[in-house]
Chain A
Amino acid sequence: MSGTDFFSVMGFGPEGWGGLMLRAALMSVAIAASGFLIGMVFGSLVCWARLSRSATARLLADAYATVLRGVPDLLVIYLLYFGGSAVLSRVGAMFGSSGFVSAPTFATGALAIGCVSGAYQSEVLRGAFLSIQTGQLEAGRAYGMKTMLLLRRIVVPQLVRYALPGMENVWQLVLKESALISVIGLVELMRQSAIGSGSTNQPFYFYVTAALLFLAISSVTGWGFRRVEAHAFRGVRRA
């Protein structure tokens, strides 16, 4: 080992862990972003079901949102990982391979984050949808707009506007939740820090670096959200 001070451990030289940590940070952003996008799909579907006229759909969607918001994320990750691995192992056994087939960590992690954040996003979207004035929907109908056109021209532009602040909250949650995916072995920031502290015996440096990188990611993306928000609210008077 070349040195034990912070900068030689976290440097970018052949002995330094800086490059690996940055790559792991990119992985954290990638898994969080994929999870967030999957969550957007789930969230829209659940929101649609919660606002639908069918009582069964509403009940199912409510149950989904209640369960996924009331159960620890870690349990959801374990469920998908071990459940997925069990299914894959059984499929593998059908094709003659014996033994454990592990579920792909990135896909499982993204799906787990998507399931959980979908529950939160459905709430955000529902609130945003309900704050669109019904008069505007009626006006659109009165002009003879079909549902799709109404959605595209009237609902979605305003939905984006009203949902953005809530979506930023969910994104920050998702980013922090991505750290949990390390428990199933995906090499993102936390896993890389664990590996690094195992091999250098300097856990403090690694976890401080991980914390700083998370802070940097959340600051930069928070700034990005505010830019988008400013764009979505252009021409709107606000108190």
Chain B
Amino acid sequence: MDFQFIADTVLSLLAGVPKTLQLAVISISSGAVLAVILASLRLYGPWPVRTLVRGYVFAFRGTPLLVQIFLIYYGLGQLSAVRHSFLWVYLREPFWCAVLALALNTAAYGAEIIRGGILSVPYGQVEAAWACGMSGFKTFRRIIFPIALRQALPAYSNEIILMVKSTSLASIITLMEITGIAYKIISETYNAVPVFVCAGGIYLLINFIVTRVLQYFERRLTPHLRRNPDDSKKTKGQIKGAPIG
């Protein structure tokens, strides 16, 4: 085995990590915001809006991400309205095209996950909130959304992992993130296996860390499912006083 080659490969691949993380963080966070908006519109909006959101989700979940990236990167430039708008400054950059495509894509999947979470909120909790005199929005903010988030987190974790992997598609529109650099090294040296092992290892490591962080959040959000809810030593927000009965 050629250790010098492997060391060089790892070093060049690590240079692509910041770009991969940038793509992932920007698109996942903006996609999540959009997903919450879409899910609320899909559930509470007037029917034309609901239909529109359904169409959006259908279109973005039914077509490959690569089509979406190409449509935005190559396709939008064909429309002169886009070329002459202020958005062109961003849309001619492959980075922002990739971020836009990834965010729109994950928003469609995320909207369905969050909708599922909202629908799984027990209705008695909503009624209890109304009985306490909460308004519609306050009920959503304080009761429905936190419970829905907790229900949706495992599925959303999956989506986040998928997104980290999907950032590799940005390499096709010339972005030099991890996969882009791997492709360059492989096509120059034809030494596919070691490059694959190194690049794959970096992705596995990123995903391992992401999974651990998400597991931590999941644990924090579900103290009621733990056998010993007190074991995290965080007792701050707890209601003090003797139990009733």
**A190 lies within 8 A of B66 (CB):** yes
Which residues of chain B are near A23, meaning CB under 8 Å? none
Which residues of chain B are near A214, meaning CB under 8 Å? 62-64, 67
Which A-chain residue is minimally distant from B20 (CB atoms)? A72
Q: A67-B204, A207-B71 are in contact. Are A83 and B58 (CB under 8 A)?
A: no
**B76 in the interface, Cβ–Cβ < 8 Å?**
yes
Cα A76 to Cα B193 with chains together (Å): 10
In whole Å, how far is A165's beta carbon from the nearest beta carbon of chain B?
15
**A179 lies within 8 A of B67 (CB):** yes
**B199 in the interface, Cβ–Cβ < 8 Å?**
yes
Which residues of chain A are near B14, meaning CB under 8 Å? none
Most buried by B among A67, A71, A76: A71
Which B-chain residue is minimally distant from A74 (CB atoms)? B168
Most buried by A among B167, B190, B192, B203: B192
Q: Within B168-213, which residues are at the interface with A (CB < 8 Å)?
A: 168-169, 171-172, 179, 182-183, 186-187, 190-193, 196, 199-200, 203-204, 207-208
Which residues of chain B are near A70, meaning CB under 8 Å? 161, 165, 200, 203-204, 207-208
Bin the interface of chain A by size: 35 or more
**A211 lies within 8 A of B67 (CB):** yes
Which residues of chain A are near B58, meaning CB under 8 Å? 215
Cα A78 to Cα B203 with chains together (Å): 15
Which A-chain residue is minimally distant from B82 (CB atoms)? A204
- SS of A interface (majority): helix
- SS of B interface (majority): helix
Which A-chain residue is minimally distant from B207 (CB atoms)? A70
Cα A207 to Cα B76 with chains together (Å): 10
Number of contacts between A and B (CB, 8 Å)?
121
Which residues of chain A are near B192, meaning CB under 8 Å? 78-79, 81-83, 86
Q: A203-B77, A211-B59 are in contact. Are A176 and B71 (CB under 8 A)?
A: no
Encode contact with A along B66-105: 1 for CB under 8 Å, 0 otherwise: 1110110011111100000000000000000000000000
Cα A200 to Cα B199 with chains together (Å): 37
Cα A13 to Cα B82 with chains together (Å): 30
A-B contact pairs, 12 of them (CB 8 A): A70-B204, A71-B204, A72-B169, A75-B203, A78-B182, A78-B196, A79-B196, A190-B64, A206-B75, A208-B71, A210-B67, A214-B64
Binding site for B on A (CB under 8 A): 66-67, 70-76, 78-79, 81-83, 85-86, 89, 172, 175-180, 182-183, 190, 193-194, 197, 201-208, 210-211, 214-215, 218-219
